[in-house]
Amino acid sequence: MLRLYALLASLHTYIGWRLLPDMPYGAVAVLPTLALLVACALLVPSGFARRRRAAGANDQALVWAGMIALGLFSSLFVLTLARDVVLALAWLADDLLDPAWHRALVAASAIGVPVVALAVTAIGFVNARTRARIRDVEVPIDGLPKALDGFTIAQISDLHVGPTIRRDYVQAVVDAVNRIDADVVAVTGDLVDGSVEELAAHTEPLQRLTSRHGVFFVTGNHEYYSGAQAWIAEVARLGMRVLSNEHVVVDHDGARVVVAGVTDYGAHRFDRRQRSDPSAAIAGAPASSVKLLLAHQPLSAYEAARAGFDLQLSGHTHGGQFLPWNWLVRFWQPFTAGLRRLGHLWVYTSRGTGYWGPPKRFGAPSEITRLRLVGA
């Protein structure tokens, strides 16, 4: 914890060092910005320290404050770095710029960083806390049987029930999914951030999820952080079918859909027996069927394509969740968001139904996805 405080103090000091001396309006601008930086530096680690014991009202309030402060700090830090790049370019072009224009740029950008960071954090908070909207996606499948034209899958992913996503948010998501009246409901991992003991009361509304052929679940990396075996048992108790490198065959008006699921792409780091295996998940499946794979991380797509799946549903990326991470996430995930093609395989990556960490979404809206199979 001391190292975390030291790191945060250093980064906040950097922000203050780069902004405060250049601010116009004197103490009127400097003092509120300084107070904001001090509050962020104190609240971020305080919020994390109380995440695991946020039962009391005071602890819960500090968790909220700490998570909001984390999102604000992220924007402050990134915008300060971006400002430094702009000022460096302006300095290189000093001979081409009017000195008065240069001074105006320095002052305006110094005051602009905290103003923009606060605005992005406030808008992002509203976006995150508003129930995820339903996103409609059509997936064209070659040789799709007529009986499966319009087959509907409702996908939720990365709900992250935990310190700031609680029962009321979960209930609103369940109600929205049930109104879709889907043929299958797919829950593609990262359902929780915490133990069964802490969160069972908040995940309880999930037992009301309904569809024609059932509700299917696969683990994400956060299930392994939170006690995967306990959550697998709890999810099954709530009425979901857990798919761990296995499949079921759904008969839909005489046509067959293979619904397969794999453990998280990195599950073997926690338990070697849980290694993700799309080939094992499809083993023994009927050849004349549409093959659907639920896999938390898009990285599973390469092996899923080799195994012969038609469609993979994933999450994990959150679409980056907020700027600038929605630009950067593509450097370590092959599919960031939306519907993409990999050979014969379609890969749909959800931006997530909740959020992780800061209650903040900006440029990457949350979603409940309604996917419809259609003939290619």
* Statement to judge: residues 124 and 141 lie in one domain: no
pLDDT score recorded for residue 362: 95
The verdict on 92 and 203 lying in the same domain is no
In order along its 376 residues, the chain shows pLDDT tens digits of: 677 778 889 999 999 999 999 999 889 999 999 999 999 999 988 776 655 554 555 678 889 999 999 999 999 999 999 999 999 988 887 766 677 788 899 999 999 999 999 999 999 999 999 999 999 999 999 999 999 999 999 999 999 999 999 999 999 999 999 999 999 999 999 999 999 999 999 999 999 999 999 999 999 999 999 999 999 999 999 999 999 999 999 999 999 999 999 999 999 999 999 999 999 999 999 988 899 999 999 999 999 999 999 999 999 999 999 988 888 888 888 899 999 999 999 999 999 999 999 999 999 999 999 999 999 8
Domain check: are 63 and 199 in the same one? no
| pLDDT of res. 315 | 97
Same domain (yes/no): 76, 192:
no
Distance separating alpha carbons of residues 112 and 105, to the nearest angstrom: 10
pLDDT value of residue 216:
98
CA distance readout (Å), 185 to 76, 205, 257: 39, 15, 13
β-bridge partners, 250: 257
Amino acid 328: pLDDT: 82
Looking at residue 327, its pLDDT comes to 80
Same domain, 253 and 198: yes
Residues 53 and 153 in one domain: no
| DSSP string across 275-334 | ---HHHHHTT--SSSEEEEE-SSGGGHHHHHHHT-SEEEE-SSGGGSBTTHHHHGGGT-S
Number of domains in the chain: 2
Both 240 and 107 in a single domain?
Answer: no
Domain end marker among 129, 155, 185: 129
Report the Cα 5 to chain-centroid distance in Å: 26
The length of the chain is: 376
Q: Are residue 333 and residue 353 in the same domain, yes or no?
A: yes
Distances (CA, A) of 6 to 13, 78, 346: 10, 19, 46
- Of 129, 144, 164, which residue constitutes the final position of a domain? 129
Token code pair at residue 34: 């300084």
Residue 350 and residue 305 share a domain: yes
pLDDT at residue 92 in the model: 80
Which of 75, 99, 129 terminates a domain? The answer is 129
Residue 144 near residue 375 (C-beta atoms within 8 A): yes
Encode 208-227: b = buried (16+ Cβ within 10 Å), e = exposed: ebebebbbbbbbbbbbbebb
Residue 102 has what pLDDT?
81
Contacts of residue 8, defined as CB under 8 A and 6 or more positions apart, other chains included, come to 41, 44, 45, 73
HSE-up (13 A, CA, CB side) for residue 306:
8
How far is 303 from 56, CA to CA, in rounded Å? Answer: 46
Predicted pLDDT of residue 331: 83
pLDDT score at 52: 54
What gap in Å lies between CA 316 and CA 155, rounded to an integer? 13
Question: Given this model, what pLDDT does residue 97 score?
Answer: 67
The CATH number that applies at residue 239 is 3.60.21.10
- Residue 321 belongs to what domain range? 133-375
Q: What pLDDT, on a 0 to 100 scale, did the predictor assign at position 172?
A: 97
Do 56 and 94 belong together in one domain? yes
Residues 188 and 172 in one domain: yes
Are residues 356 and 215 located together in one domain of the fold? yes
